[in-house]
Structure 1
Amino acid sequence: MNADYWNTRYINGETGWDMGTVSPPLKAYIDQLENKALRILVPGGGNSYEAAYLWEQGFRHVTVLDIATVVVDQLRQRFAGTGIQLVAQDFFLHEAKYDLILEQTFFCALDPALRTQYVQHMYDLLDQGGHLAGVLFNREFAHSGPPFGGDMEAYRALFGPFFHFNTFAPCYNSHPARQGSEVFINFTRLNQHNHE
């Protein structure tokens, strides 16, 4: 799933994951955040309804990262006049420090072989005490992905060495199309991970 793959999906309108609005669980989480100075990353941001919502709510350090230049170019027009940072880059090559990373259909878009690398890189991108929050699919898919599914037991083993679990529970406020198939996560980066 390289840049060409995702560019083609956007060009052809093959964006079944796009709900056309901010994800309800993420909106509820954002509404609870009081510190508007947080440095926030939305990786695999796509059409970035979450980033737009963050900006509307007064967050001024928002970065959207996506490998698909097609969608990043569209966002440059949509977000013109805002201070939202737009980066067309492979997530695994991105280097910066954030207080909060929002996960919304990015994890499930990656080949499962990259999941350990994903967790390690999320850990590296977060500053000490930083949070990884959002939704993961709590189901399997019959077709070969993306999206790629998973379950809570696998996620616990994957994230456990790197993060403290503040919230790790089935979503009660999913979008109707995803009812019963999402788990909400709010993880805090451990000062030292237990993977060495």
Structure 2
Amino acid sequence: MDNSKKELLCCVTHCDRPLDRDYWNNCWEQSKTGWDIGFASPAITEYMAQYPHKDAAILIPGCGNAYEAEYLLANGFTNITLIDIAPKAVELLQEKFSETTAIKVICEDFFRHEGRYDLVLEQTFFCAIPPSRRKEYTEKMAALLNANGKLVGLLFDRTFEQEGPPFGGCPCEYKPVFEPHFHIRTMETCYNSIPPRKDSEVFIQLVKKQKP
């Protein structure tokens, strides 16, 4: 595999731990953003092209450069919230989206965020969280979603040689974590991944379960 492909497959491996605000902000300050593919994920844009509710409350956590938000804005979506823990990333986003009221940018730890959403888009956020927090991730996602809300996006279907992030896995690991809170409508190999991630991603469409 050539170096350009390795860069797209792997997130940052040279920042100081722990994986907190300072860690991620240092990555942005030093332009060590190997997870950034430079455009919106085709799997997500294809899904959103057929999503009918332009006024849906949409959350993109760990949004980075938020290319998906650019796509949503250009296609008439009007209620988008972006969260990133890194102040430098948020500074860039606030400048990028300064002329629209359709996008709100928040500098915050996802696990402390409060809000209600119809749809959450997942793109290289789950893989940035240590596996020990995956149960907490699913619980928080369910808490943020409205009734019948959806979690849609991509998860890695592979392991990584280096110590994470990114943290990989497979559907056999993910399903037991998500099933207590979500109906798994789709969790299968992504057919339209970008070339460097071909056969190493699963596309997910999860629907929040209703409490008894």
State the TM-score, normalizing by the size of structure 1.
0.97
Q: Does 1:114 align with 2:140?
A: no
User: Any idea what the Cα deviations from partners look like across 1:48-88, whole Å, max 9, x if unmatched?
Assistant: 00011111111010000000010000111111111210000
TM-superposed deviation, 1:13: 1.0
Q: Does 1:78 align with 2:96?
A: yes
Q: Does 1:62 align with 2:80?
A: yes
Q: In the alignment, what sits opposite 2:184?
A: 165
Which letter maps to 1:190? K
* Structure 2 residue ranges without an equivalent (≥5): 1-18
TM-superposed deviation, 1:31: 0.6
TM-superposed deviation, 1:32: 1.0
The separation in 2 between residues aligned to 1:3 and 1:47, in whole angstroms, is 16
Q: Does 1:124 align with 2:143?
A: yes
Percent of matched pairs sharing the same residue = 46
Q: In the alignment, what sits opposite 1:140?
A: 159
TM-superposed deviation, 1:112: 1.0
Q: Does 1:11 align with 2:29?
A: yes
Q: Does 1:179 align with 2:198?
A: yes
Q: In the alignment, what sits opposite 1:48?
A: 66
4+ residue stretches of structure 1 with deviation over 2 A? none
The separation in 1 between residues aligned to 2:135 and 2:184, in whole angstroms, is 17
The separation in 2 between residues aligned to 1:12 and 1:32, in whole angstroms, is 37
The separation in 2 between residues aligned to 1:151 and 1:167, in whole angstroms, is 14
TM-superposed deviation, 1:165: 1.2
The separation in 2 between residues aligned to 1:123 and 1:93, in whole angstroms, is 14
The separation in 2 between residues aligned to 1:44 and 1:192, in whole angstroms, is 27
SS of equivalent to 1:166: strand
The separation in 2 between residues aligned to 1:147 and 1:20, in whole angstroms, is 18
Aligned length in residues:
193
State the TM-score, normalizing by the size of structure 2.
0.90
TM-superposed deviation, 1:95: 0.5
* Structure 1 residue ranges without an equivalent (≥5): none
The separation in 1 between residues aligned to 2:47 and 2:86, in whole angstroms, is 26
Which letter maps to 1:5? Y
User: Any idea what the Cα deviations from partners look like across 1:108-138, whole Å, max 9, x if unmatched?
Assistant: 0011111000000000000010000000000
SS of equivalent to 1:165: strand
Which letter maps to 1:99? D
Which letter maps to 1:132? L
User: Any idea what the Cα deviations from partners look like across 1:18-57, whole Å, max 9, x if unmatched?
Assistant: 0000011001111111110100000000000001111111
